């Protein structure tokens, strides 16, 4: 039987031998006491990379996002984000549960809104009937937007609006390194614009777990407290941090390979009769809509029978995500599997 091709998400990657070797060689201590040298090294490296004062290692991107929102808000405040935002759709209602904040949803273009939309949706602080707008949250790349990237100039304009109205900015950068590689941008381009940034190590970068929250020392002191409240303090976390360090040092530039495979798939999908529409492909995510007559479940079952695992996103929509464990040979097998899919009689 051929090897299963798993393109459900870039979270399914396995540590490479080299990453495992780095993990086994890690020096560790008790991170809750701040004594794990490898965690400290990872935090210092990430903070320096983005030009921020401090960083905090967290178990997951959901936790780093939720802590980031919490340190900027009080119960009764409001967070502005796009209607497709991961922090709103896929984090268990955490904005309400953890921060007690309401959400103002914007209808952007594939998850990207404009500075003018932000300006039009800020609540006046002299009106006691309204929640205070305290935070704007941006996701880059946008998962549900097909891995699309933000225009840095638009983020700069949003930053200007936020500074004018004393509103903080948080970046859900779960796949930010994909955007940096695709747009040839620098981490410091984002470090200067956002008050807090969350970046994942366990997606395209290939680490088994872990995310980082970056910001000022004052904000990260609050974040450390929130991580404790959420049960996110780990002890000898240096073994995981070593994987994160390896990922930052070795797995960023190779993201171009994932992007290239996604473009090959996009071109193939445009030739297939059962594909109705495809979101523009910029990075490693491909989202497309099936034609009427072929349900998502039936399509995924046909792929499964050919050793391909993918994800449905409802309403005739399918997502493929490329990562370091998808080889060129597997891409060829995937293309053939797609050509073998048949519409119901």
C-beta of residue 108 within 8 angstroms of C-beta of residue 133: no
Look at residue 2 and tell me whether its pLDDT is greater than 70: no
Look at residue 58 and tell me whether its pLDDT is greater than 80: yes
Tell me whether the omega of the peptide bond preceding residue 141 falls within 30 degrees of 0, making it cis. yes
pLDDT tens by residue, 272-310: 999 999 999 999 999 999 999 899 999 999 999 999 999
Residue 54: phi and psi, rounded to 5, are -155, 165
The predicted pLDDT at position 343 comes to 86
Look at residue 87 and tell me whether its pLDDT is greater than 70: yes
CA angle 191, 195, 199 (to 5 degrees): 60
To the nearest whole percent, how much of the chain has pLDDT over 90?
Answer: 96
1 pLDDT band, cuts 50/70/90, is: very low
Residue 55: phi and psi, rounded to 5, are -145, 155
pLDDT tens by residue, 287-297: 999 999 899 99
The predicted pLDDT at position 308 comes to 98
pLDDT tens by residue, 103-149: 999 999 999 999 999 999 999 898 999 999 999 999 999 999 999 99
SS3 342: coil
262 membership: H or E segment, kind and range: helix 255-269
The predicted pLDDT at position 344 comes to 82
Interacting residues of 164 by C-beta distance below 8 A, sequence separation 6+: none
The predicted pLDDT at position 314 comes to 85
């Amino acid at each position: 039987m051929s090897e299963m091709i798993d393109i459900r998400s870039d979270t399914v990657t396995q540590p490479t031998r080299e990453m495992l070797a780095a993990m086994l060689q890690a020096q560790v201590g008790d991170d809750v006491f701040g004594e794990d040298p490898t965690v400290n090294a990872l935090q210092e490296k990430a903070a320096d990379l983005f030009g921020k004062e401090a960083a905090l290692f967290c178990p997951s991107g959901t936790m780093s996002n939720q802590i980031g929102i919490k340190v900027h808000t009080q119960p009764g405040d409001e967070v502005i984000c796009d209607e497709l935002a991961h922090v709103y759709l896929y984090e268990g209602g955490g904005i309400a549960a953890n921060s007690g904040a309401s959400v103002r949803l914007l209808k952007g273009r594939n998850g990207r809104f404009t500075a003018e939309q932000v300006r039009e949706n800020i609540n006046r602080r002299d009106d006691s009937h309204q929640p205070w707008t305290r935070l704007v949250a941006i996701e880059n790349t946008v998962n549900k937007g097909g891995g699309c990237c933000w225009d840095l100039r638009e983020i700069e304009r949003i930053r200007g609006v936020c500074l004018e109205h004393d509103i903080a900015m948080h970046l859900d950068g779960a796949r930010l390194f994909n955007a940096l590689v695709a747009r040839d941008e620098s981490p410091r381009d984002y470090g200067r614009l956002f008050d807090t940034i969350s970046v994942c190590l366990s997606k395209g970068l290939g680490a088994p777990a872990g995310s980082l929250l970056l910001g000022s020392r004052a904000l990260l002191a609050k974040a450390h407290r929130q991580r404790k409240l959420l049960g996110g303090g780990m002890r000898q976390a240096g073994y995981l941090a070593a994987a994160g360090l390896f990922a930052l040092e070795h797995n960023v530039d190779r993201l171009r390979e994932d992007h290239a495979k996604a473009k090959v798939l996009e071109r193939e999908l445009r030739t297939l009769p059962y594909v109705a529409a495809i979101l523009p492909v910029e990075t490693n995510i491909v989202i497309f809509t099936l034609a009427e007559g072929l349900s998502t479940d039936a399509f995924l079952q046909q792929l499964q029978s050919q050793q391909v695992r993918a994800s449905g996103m409802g309403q005739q929509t399918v997502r493929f995500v490329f990562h370091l464990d998808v080889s060129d040979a597997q891409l060829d097998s995937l293309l053939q599997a797609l050509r073998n899919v048949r519409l119901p009689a």
